Amino acid sequence: MGRTFDELAAEAAAAPTEGWDFSWLDGRATEQRPSWGYQRTMGEHLARASAALDIQTGGGEVLAGVARRPALTVATEGWPPNVAKATRLLHPLGVAVVADTEEPPLPFADGAFDLVVSRHPVKPWWTEIARVLAPGGTYLSQQVGPASVFELVEFFLGPQPEEVRRSRHPDDARAEAEAAGLEVVDLRFERLRTEFFDIGAVVYFLRKVVWMVPGFTVEAYRDRLRELHDLIERDGPFVAHTTRFLIEARKPE
């Protein structure tokens, strides 16, 4: 017999969620990966850079996983548990971690870096990115696109207005980058299949990705969670779609 709703929900509610490591979901959820391979692409750029900045590094896992980084590599992070985790992971690799709010300004001089990278920034501050880039420098970022995992969001919150569904659109990112004086040299978008195999995976995901269902707790959404548990038990995995885009922008010489 399968585990009960209460067992699955309680286990997921107690699981630690710091960092940006989703290995707790192994075997419980799957997410199709973008074809461009962000970590590999980022690693290729880092290998050619002389001074690099990783904005909103999370727990530092992605940056730590590349083979080569320039001797001058700095990461910023705003959430204190992640600052501590990134420091433990990245300092032994020679990467300085700076605790920084996610609001401007970035605590660096004009033109300090020839490469700025960021995976899933909450909000890219394009004028600040342009300011800290050296002439000829590159910004590379994988970002969450519009209406990502909205099948799950709307299961709990109901239909979302069109302006909410369209926010984080890659066309807007292009326009904002260009308005900040950057030249967009690559922009790719993909819609990717995501599956949740049990209600514990849903609880863990919504606890970790806190902006999906603001204020989410098991108690606040117990009835709806139980409905979704019954749906998964009856019909199989709950299917949603993540959206991702890759943007590469260059500061003119």
Low-confidence ranges of the chain (pLDDT < 50): none
HSE-up of 231 (CA within 13 Å, CB side)? 14
CB 52 within 8 A of CB 69: yes
Residue 179: C-alpha distances to residues 172, 184, 202 (Å) = 10, 11, 38
Measuring CA to CA, which residue among 87, 153, 76 is closest to residue 121? 76
Strands 238-250, 133-144: pairing kind = antiparallel
Q: Where are the alpha helices (DSSP H) in 15-77?
A: 38-48, 61-64
How many beta carbons lie within 10 A of that of residue 136, not counting itself?
Answer: 10
pLDDT of residue 201: 98
Q: What is the pLDDT of residue 1?
A: 58
Q: Please check whether residue 158 is in contact with residue 135, taking contact to mean a CB–CB distance below 8 angstroms.
A: no
CA 115 to CA 108: how far, in whole Å? 13
Cα(204)–Cα(190) distance, integer angstroms: 24
φ, ψ of residue 136 in degrees (nearest 5)? 85, -5
**Distance (Å, rounded) from C-alpha 30 to C-alpha 62?**
18
Domains of the chain and any CATH numbers = 5-250 (3.40.50.150)
Cis ω before 105 (30° cut-off from 0): yes
pTM given for the model: 0.90
CB distance 240 to 194 below 8 Å = yes
Q: In what order do the strands lie in the sheet with 29-31?
A: 29-31, 183-196, 238-250, 133-144, 113-119, 51-54, 72-77, 96-99
